[in-house]
């Protein structure tokens, strides 16, 4: 009897939750970015590195390796004096996630205001740990578009009942320090994004400062104050008085286990470790725009729901290209309209080149299945396509500190005519374009564009990627420096079979 009643109760709850297509309205006092303190350490650094007659310009540098990416984030947190704003799709409770969390607590202890906005579905942190961080008087955590029911079991029922709403996610990745410097790109917070995992994501971040930071902070405020961003204290019970001490001890023990090891030594040797204290970082100054979807894109009842605002802006810049268009996208599903667009660019004399994952390197088989059907038409239309090789990290001799690892492309970066670049969170697939909110920075700077084009050329060389070709019978071939294949290279029979099966499912719009 009890079991039947419990089942009925759960079904009723799920049904009621499923009827709610939008989150209930909340009326919270707005929170805004702190005003920049130009006398702070970061303020002085920005001022000292800004060229003359560049008041309307912004400075940027690319961050490629995982150790540099972690070093840059830790240096930014350690250098913060007034505020830290973080916005991430994924935040894992692993080694690198713990290192960053410990630094955030230290920053909050010295009076820095910390705002942490996490996507509820993507975040890998336990509710208890999130609530414990939020308990600090200088840390506030909000969850974007959260499920209503919490708990290990109830969450699954909530995901089913609320699918129509929670299918829309915040995919943005951003950290802003003292409203004067920021880092954005493809990386979430987790070991695989910082070269400390068996899956080693090849990714690109961009570090920025100057005029553009005003627009970046304004974008963060828009998300933070959106109705979709829910304060955790309204969702979780307050943690016990010993919770904070317990969490700090766990984070300290985690760090001590890795102190003196090869990984943290490499992080310490990164030029970004002392980014604010020496001049090894090369900054490129130019005009820039912050491009982002509005948070209301995730509200099923809002006019901007499923409106590809960011994607349309990027398409406009791609259409303006006259000579070359370089696209790096971890997940690449152009769709019929994208296929026509890219081929049309080729017909108008533009050299279109694409780098994405191979079947052996993708972390989402369904995405590869959907992408695979576009390869032949694109190649016939003159688009050049490369797929990353599985062992590119070993070939590049970048230590993963865990022995042999598998490379996987995670970058989302585009180069237009080697004159301007976009680095951000958006993949060229239906989920990024229609279902997720996305953001990134567009920079008009030839030297930066040349640097990113050089990285594209490096990653598409025969040692790191396969170039796809069609033989005389219009059959696909994969070619590297000294070898060619007539079927998906380095992919197991299971992956090939699974990809073939997934290709029959009508799920492309969800990928």
Whole-angstrom CA distances from 96 to 93, 121, 192, 193, 199 are: 8, 20, 9, 9, 14
**Active site (annotated) includes residue 259:** no
Catalytic residue among 68, 119, 129, 178: 178
| 459 sits in which H/E element | helix 446-459
Task: For CA atoms 398, 402, 408, 410, give the dihedral sign.
Answer: negative
Catalytic residue among 293, 417, 419, 429: 417
The span from the CA of 296 to the CA of 506, in Å, is 27
User: 10 Å Cβ neighbour count for 164?
Assistant: 13
**Active site (annotated) includes residue 127:** no
**Active site (annotated) includes residue 417:** yes
**Active site (annotated) includes residue 299:** no
Catalytic residue among 85, 120, 127, 173: 173
**Active site (annotated) includes residue 412:** yes
Catalytic residue among 412, 419, 420, 429: 412
The span from the CA of 305 to the CA of 308, in Å, is 9
The span from the CA of 412 to the CA of 191, in Å, is 19
Catalytic residue among 119, 129, 171, 273: 171
| 160 sits in which H/E element | helix 154-161
Q: Are 82 and 40 in contact (CB under 8 A)?
A: yes
Q: Are 298 and 305 in contact (CB under 8 A)?
A: yes
The span from the CA of 425 to the CA of 279, in Å, is 28
**Active site (annotated) includes residue 173:** yes
Catalytic residue among 317, 410, 419, 420: 410
Helices within 50-153 (DSSP H only):
66-79, 95-109, 127-134
Where in the sequence numbering do the catalytic residues fall?
171, 173, 178, 410, 412, 417
């Amino acid at each position: 009897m009890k079991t039947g009643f419990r089942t009925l109760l759960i079904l009723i709850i799920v049904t009621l939750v499923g009827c709610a297509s939008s989150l209930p309205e909340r009326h919270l006092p707005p929170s805004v970015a702190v005003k920049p303190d130009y006398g702070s350490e970061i303020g002085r650094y920005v001022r000292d590195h800004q060229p003359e007659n560049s008041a309307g310009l912004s400075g940027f540098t690319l961050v490629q390796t995982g150790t540099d990416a972690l070093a840059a984030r830790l240096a930014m947190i350690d250098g913060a004096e007034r505020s830290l704003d973080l916005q991430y799709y994924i935040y894992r409770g692993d080694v690198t996630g713990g290192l960053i969390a410990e630094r955030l607590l230290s920053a909050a202890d010295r009076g820095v205001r910390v705002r942490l906005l996490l996507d509820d579905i993507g975040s890998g942190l336990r509710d208890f740990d999130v609530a414990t961080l939020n308990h600090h008087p200088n840390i506030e955590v909000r969850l974007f578009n959260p499920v209503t029911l919490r708990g290990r079991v109830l969450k699954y029922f909530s995901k089913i009942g609320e699918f129509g709403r929670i299918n829309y996610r915040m995919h943005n990745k951003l950290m802003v320090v003292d409203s004067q410097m920021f880092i954005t790109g493809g990386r979430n917070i987790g070991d695989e994004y910082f070269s400390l995992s068996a899956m080693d994501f090849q990714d690109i971040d961009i570090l920025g400062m100057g005029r553009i930071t005003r627009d970046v902070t304004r974008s963060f405020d828009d998300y933070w104050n959106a109705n979709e961003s829910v304060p955790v204290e309204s969702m979780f019970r307050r943690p016990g008085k010993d919770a904070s001490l317990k969490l700090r001890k766990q984070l300290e023990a985690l760090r001590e286990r890795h102190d003196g090891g090869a990984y943290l030594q490499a992080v310490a040797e990164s030029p970004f470790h002392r980014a604010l204290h020496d001049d090894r970082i090369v900054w490129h100054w130019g005009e820039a725009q912050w491009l982002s979807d509005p948070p209301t894109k995730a509200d099923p009842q809002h006019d901007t729901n499923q409106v590809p605002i960011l994607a349309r802006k990027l398409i406009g810049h791609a259409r303006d290209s006259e000579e070359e268009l370089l696209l790096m996208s971890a997940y690449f599903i152009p769709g019929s309209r994208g296929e026509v667009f890219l081929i049309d660019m080729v017909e108008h004399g533009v050299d279109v080149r694409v780098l994405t994952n191979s079947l052996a390197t993708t972390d989402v088989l369904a995405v590869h299945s959907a992408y695979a059907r576009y390869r032949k038409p694109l190649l016939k239309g003159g688009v050049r396509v490369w797929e990353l090789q599985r062992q590119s990290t070993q070939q590049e001799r970048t230590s993963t500190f865990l022995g042999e690892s598998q490379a996987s492309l995670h970058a989302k970066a585009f180069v237009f005519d080697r004159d301007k670049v976009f680095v951000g969170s958006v993949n060229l697939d239906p989920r990024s374009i229609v279902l997720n909110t996305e953001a990134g920075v567009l920079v008009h700077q030839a030297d930066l564009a040349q640097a990113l084009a050089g990285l594209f050329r490096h990653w598409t060389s025969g040692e790191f990627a396969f170039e796809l070709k069609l033989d005389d019978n219009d059959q696909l071939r994969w070619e590297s420096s000294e070898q060619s294949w007539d079927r998906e290279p380095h992919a197991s029979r299971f992956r090939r079979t699974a990809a073939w099966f997934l290709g029959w499912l009508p799920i492309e719009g969800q990928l």
